[in-house]
Amino acid sequence: QQQQQQHLDIRGTNKELIESSEHMTAFGARVWPSACVIARLMSKSYDFKHNFRERQDVKNNMYCTKEKEGTTPVSLPITKQLLQALTSDQQFVSINANELREFNMNKNELDNTDNTKILKLLKSINPSGKKLFEVGSGTGALGLYATALGAQKSLLTDYAEPLTDNTPIFSSDGNLSNVEEDDDEEEDETVLDNLMANVERNLSLFPQCEVAVAELNWFNHMNDIKTIRSTYDDYDFLIASDVTYMRPAHEPLAATLAELSRHNHPLLVLGHESRIMVKGLDRQLESFLQAMNKQKFKISMWYQEGDVHVMFLKLNP
């Protein structure tokens, strides 16, 4: 008798096998820290016994070191003016990993409005019974993990151009510069093909959930969204991880997220990893959030864990 599958079986575009532990802490290099952090927030796993990435090796952005107990993260890595614009007319809370750990241990002591808001937001991203939409799914690791937590319906999206060494990546799949060509594989495999294959090999983990894959090209999003809405136009929240590291994609991505949010203004949970800091500012994140500000998004909560930032945003009605 075949043993029941217990872990996600995720394959990257370089054909490597990535197998998760209970809280995605054993994923390989193709699953970025921002996806792992969002996954733990969804599963309410706040006892952090894993590695945090720090900027100790800029050339090798997979290098990990442990976060030191008691350290206080730096202030939010964007200008005060931009933060003010993104949080105006909005009750805004900011919390770091150590504070969340302490908050979780004392969650019954809701003695202020901020604690109530944090608890409400964390509960709102529990996928159980929810309909979720992932943007820039890449390998699908985060979307499939959320699905396995009990989602009712999931849609995972990415672009559908052929994978080559020169393919620009605007998704969570990372830099393909090290992809090894396999003569036995078809040359026209796409991110979407790989994503669909990952969904199919993990179906046994969520037999009651309807999981779909769709193309969503941020540079041609109106046509793709129109097609998607013909079958999937009702979702409780949007998720996206490590989709912000290429500046040319910031404006198209923000426009895509805005269009997806116009119907029922769902919560957007977005993970970003700071890679290069200049005088305390993350210029990539600043550029992306400027694009989001133009689209009238507002931030309600900002969670920081090492170099990872998870933002809870909504389109302003």
Q: What is the pLDDT along the chain (317 residues), one digit of tens a residue?
A: 334 455 777 776 544 444 443 333 333 335 678 988 898 898 876 544 333 333 232 222 222 223 333 333 347 999 999 999 999 877 898 988 888 877 766 655 545 667 778 888 888 899 999 999 999 998 898 999 999 889 999 999 998 865 444 333 333 333 333 334 444 445 567 889 989 998 998 888 888 899 999 999 999 999 999 999 988 888 999 999 999 988 999 999 999 999 999 988 999 999 999 988 898 899 999 999 999 999 999 999 999 988 999 999 999 98
Residue with tokens 């105006």: 88
pLDDT of residue 21: 37
Give the pLDDT of residue 46.
Answer: 54
Residue 131 to residue 128: CA distance in whole angstroms: 9
The answer to whether residues 35 and 142 touch, using CB atoms and an 8 Å cutoff, is yes
User: Phi then psi for 185, rounded to 5 degrees?
Assistant: -95, 150
CA distance linking residue 299 with residue 77, whole number of Å:
14
Q: How many CB atoms lie within 10 A of CB 50?
A: 18
In angstroms, the CA 55 to CA 33 distance is 13
The pairing of strands 93-96 and 52-53 is unpaired
Among residues 239, 45, 50, 47, which one has the least CA distance to residue 144? 239
Amino acid in position 49: K
Q: What is the structure's pLDDT at 36?
A: 85
Closest by Cα among 290, 312, 304 to 101? 304
pLDDT at residue 60 in the model: 28
